Structure 1
Amino acid sequence: MNADQSRANAFRLVRLAIGGGTFWLLFAGYFLYHFLLARDLIPELFGGMFGPVLAASLPFTLWGTFLASRNLPGIFSNGVAVWVSATVLWASFWLAIHFAQAPDNVAHAQVGITIVLWLGMLALCFNIPVYSPLFNKILLGSWALIAFLAMAFVDASTLMTETMMDEDAASYQGLARGLMVVGTFVLCVQRNIISRIGIAAVTIAALFAIGARSELYGFIAGYGVVEAIINRRSLLAQFVLAVVVMLTAWLVLQNLDYLSTSRQLQILDLSQSSSWVAREYMLIHAQNQVLENPLFGIYGGHWELGEGDYAHNALSAWVSFGFPGFLLYVVTIIVATAVALVALLKNPTSRLAMLATLINVSNVLLVAVAKPVFWEMPALGWGLAILVIQEMRVATSVASARTP
Structure 2
Amino acid sequence: MNIKKKLIDDYLAYISSFTIILLFPGFALYNTLVAYGFITPIFGGFFGLFSVIYLILVLPMLLRLPVFLDNKSLGYFIILIFLYVYIFLFSTTNYLLDSRAGIEDAYFQIIETMTLTLAIFFIGFFVDLNQKIYKILLYTILVSAALLLFYFLKTGQVMFYAKSFADDNATEYVSTYQGYARSAIITSLIVLSMTNRLARYLFIYMLSIFILFILGARSEFVGLVLSGTLLLLLRFKINIIQFLKLLSFCVLGLIVLYFSYDSFSGGRGAQVFDLANDTSWEARKSLEQIGLNQIIQHPILGYFGGHILEGGSRGSYIHNVLSVWAGFGLISFILYVLLCFIPFFHCILIALKDKQQTDKFYFCLSLSSVVVLLILFSKSFFWVLPGFVWGLYLSINRSRVK
Q: Which amino acid aligns with 2:323?
A: S
Shift of residue 91, structure 1, vs aligned partner: 1.4
Q: Which amino acid aligns with 1:43?
A: T
TM-score by length of 1: 0.89
Shift of residue 141, structure 1, vs aligned partner: 2.7
Q: RCO higher in 1 or 2 (8 Å CA, sep ≥ 6)?
A: 2
State the alpha-carbon separation in 2 of the partners of residues 240 and 6 from structure 1: 50
Partner of 1:231: 236
Cα displacement string for residues 198-246 of structure 1 (whole angstroms, at most 9, x for unaligned residues): 1111111111111111111111111111111123563333333333222
**Residues 1:144 and 2:152 are matched in the alignment:** no
* Structure 2 unmatched ranges of 5 or more: none
Q: Which amino acid aligns with 1:385?
A: Y
**Residues 1:74 and 2:82 are matched in the alignment:** no
Partner of 1:391: 399
- CA, structure 1 residues 6+290, in 2 after alignment: closer, same or farther (shift >3 Å)? closer
Partner of 2:52: 55
**Residues 1:363 and 2:371 are matched in the alignment:** yes
State the alpha-carbon separation in 1 of the partners of residues 318 and 192 from structure 2: 32
Partner of 1:302: 307
- For residues 340-379 of structure 1, the aligned pairs below 5 Å read 340-345=347-352, 346-379=354-387
State the alpha-carbon separation in 2 of the partners of residues 290 and 116 from structure 1: 26
Partner of 2:110: 111
Match of residue 15, structure 2, among 9, 15, 18: 18
State the alpha-carbon separation in 1 of the partners of residues 322 and 4 from structure 2: 50
> Aligned with 1:34: secondary structure?
helix
Partner of 1:200: 205
Partner of 1:333: 340
Shift of residue 321, structure 1, vs aligned partner: 0.8
Q: Is the 8 A contact 1:222 1:361 kept in 2?
A: yes
TM-score by length of 2: 0.89
State the alpha-carbon separation in 1 of the partners of residues 319 and 79 from structure 2: 23
> Aligned with 1:153: secondary structure?
helix
- CA, structure 1 residues 217+311, in 2 after alignment: closer, same or farther (shift >3 Å)? same
Shift of residue 282, structure 1, vs aligned partner: 0.7
- For residues 164-313 of structure 1, the aligned pairs below 5 Å read 164-165=163-164, 166=166, 167-168=171-172, 169-231=174-236, 234-303=239-308, 304-305=310-311, 306-313=313-320
- CA, structure 1 residues 4+97, in 2 after alignment: closer, same or farther (shift >3 Å)? closer
CA RMSD of aligned residues (A): 2.4
State the alpha-carbon separation in 1 of the partners of residues 17 and 285 from structure 2: 39
Number of aligned residue pairs: give it. Answer: 389
Q: Which amino acid aligns with 1:365?
A: L
Q: Which amino acid aligns with 1:214?
A: S
Shift of residue 119, structure 1, vs aligned partner: 1.3
Q: Is the 8 A contact 1:229 1:348 kept in 2?
A: no
Q: Is the 8 A contact 2:24 2:187 kept in 1?
A: yes
Q: Which amino acid aligns with 2:186?
A: V
Deviates more, 1:365-374 or 1:236-245: 236-245
State the alpha-carbon separation in 2 of the partners of residues 109 and 388 from structure 1: 32
Partner of 1:99: 95
- CA, structure 1 residues 274+75, in 2 after alignment: closer, same or farther (shift >3 Å)? farther
Deviates more, 1:249-258 or 1:31-40: 249-258
State the alpha-carbon separation in 2 of the partners of residues 6 and 80 from structure 1: 27
| Percent of pairs with identical residues | 24
Cα displacement string for residues 262-309 of structure 1 (whole angstroms, at most 9, x for unaligned residues): 222222321321211111111111111111111222111000221111
Shift of residue 84, structure 1, vs aligned partner: 2.1
